[in-house]
Amino acid sequence: MSELTSDGERGSPSSIYSQAFWLAFTANLLLVTANTMTFRFAEFVRLLGGTEEITGRIISLGLVGSLIWRLALGQAIDRFGVRAVWGVSALAYVAGSFSFLVSDSIGIVLYAGRLLFAIGIANMFTSALAYVQNLAPPERRTEVIGSYGAAGFLGMILGAQLGDLVFGWFPASRTLYFVLFGITIVLGIGHGLLAMVMTRGIVHVPSRRSQSLVRLYRKYWPNQVLIASTMMGLVVTVTTIFVTRYATSLGLPGIRTFFSAYAITAFIMRIVTRSWSRTFGRHRMIVFGLAGHALGLFALLGVSQDWHFILAALCFGFGHAVLFPCVVSLGAGAFPERYRGTGTNISLGVIDIGTIVSAPVIGLLIDSYGFKVSLFTAAMVIALASLTYAALGWHLADSDIQPLSPSAAEQPGLLSQPVLNSTRVTLNPAAGCDRRVAS
């Protein structure tokens, strides 16, 4: 496996796609497959007698708990290391998924289970991204995040297919969801075991400096990325929570067409666009991604048959492929190496905020006015966000195409400011990074 030393040294560019990368790729495939199967959670709540608003409330409460947990998560990674946090997160995910198996009504067990599930899966994704970012030099961090995330699109295809097969084999009953959530538990356990294998032999050197999360956010977070992050949360609400209910309301057989086309498009575009950050810059890619999501939501308005989902899926797939790695790279990359866990955690946490706010609102709009009004509203919001970000960020310099000076790594918000020189950045020794030893 590639080595990562305590002085921030990275392997050569050709070593990015190493054994460590492919193990992480496989682990991500398992986790996203499991998560995609839980997109049927809204159907499960409906079976238990809930409404769309109740579904949104359960999702939001789970994410609020996850967000509160995130206040300490990044610093926990910086202090205890990614291995310890990753392992505990996997246990929380499995426990939350198991609670779905024993829930027979909308009550405390279901709410608590969704809370554990949300905490576990959020922390697993954060830990994985914190690990993966250390497999590449700074100028290729966006690329490695994007390539790693391509596994998620394959997982989305597999999860959607498996979910529809389970729904086709079993009638709507407790047995159906016992099988569905049972599979997600097995996949989650597989992800956790791979995480332990990947991080074996890593010696964590705790950060000698401790700063509050609020102070770190104010000092380093590039504020304009907030727009893109929260809009991603809105898209997550629509695609992962309510698209399945939308298909059911239209009398369509399932969601495999949508998510398969979505994932195939995103996978191909992730490969095609993996070097765009060094050509167009990440700020312009964010504008492209937001525009793609807005078009996808508008395309959902015209769906009346199963194959009509394909156009929307193409737009969403493109938007996801270019947007996510840029948001994470700009957000986490603005933090010094010793606070990279905190930076990654904040980047994903802001996306969760978008979901927390939008889930109950979208659910209420659906209950009050129907799916068409809610989808049109979401599309207009994201279209406006795309125009706003274009006005704010189109001409901002980007270190992916204009390297920074040696002092840039510690200066807050520099990734959002015009760059005045072209000296290549050299990171200072990372007091809080993990060091891999021979194993």
Per-residue pLDDT of the chain (439 residues; tens, 9 = 90+): 333 433 333 444 456 778 888 999 999 999 999 988 887 787 888 888 877 778 878 887 887 887 777 777 766 776 777 788 888 889 999 999 898 888 878 888 888 888 899 889 888 888 888 788 778 777 677 778 878 888 888 888 888 888 888 888 877 777 888 888 899 999 999 999 999 998 887 665 555 555 666 777 778 777 778 888 889 989 988 887 788 888 888 888 777 788 889 888 988 988 888 777 777 888 888 999 999 999 999 999 998 888 899 999 999 999 998 888 888 888 877 777 777 767 777 887 788 888 888 888 888 898 889 999 999 999 999 999 999 999 887 777 666 564 444 444 444 443 333 333 333 333 333 333 333 332 3
CATH at 35 = 1.20.1250.20
Q: Report if residue 414 sits inside a domain.
A: no
**Which residue has 């009398």 as its token pair?**
251
Question: Cα dist. 226→89, 294, 354 in Å?
Answer: 26, 17, 10
Q: Which domain holds residue 305?
A: 19-203+213-401
List CB contacts of 57: < 8 A, sequence separation 6 or more.
359, 360, 363
Residue 338: both structure tokens together: 């010793």
Q: Report if residue 411 sits inside a domain.
A: no
Judge if pTM exceeds 0.75.
no
204: DSSP letter: E
Q: Report if residue 112 sits inside a domain.
A: yes
Q: Report if residue 418 sits inside a domain.
A: no
Domains contained in the chain, number = 1
Handedness of CA 47, 53, 55, 58 (dihedral sign): negative
Q: Report if residue 11 sits inside a domain.
A: no
Q: Report if residue 407 sits inside a domain.
A: no
Q: Report if residue 51 sits inside a domain.
A: yes
Question: Cα dist. 332→145, 177, 306, 371 in Å?
Answer: 11, 37, 38, 35
Q: Report if residue 99 sits inside a domain.
A: yes
Amino acid at 185: I
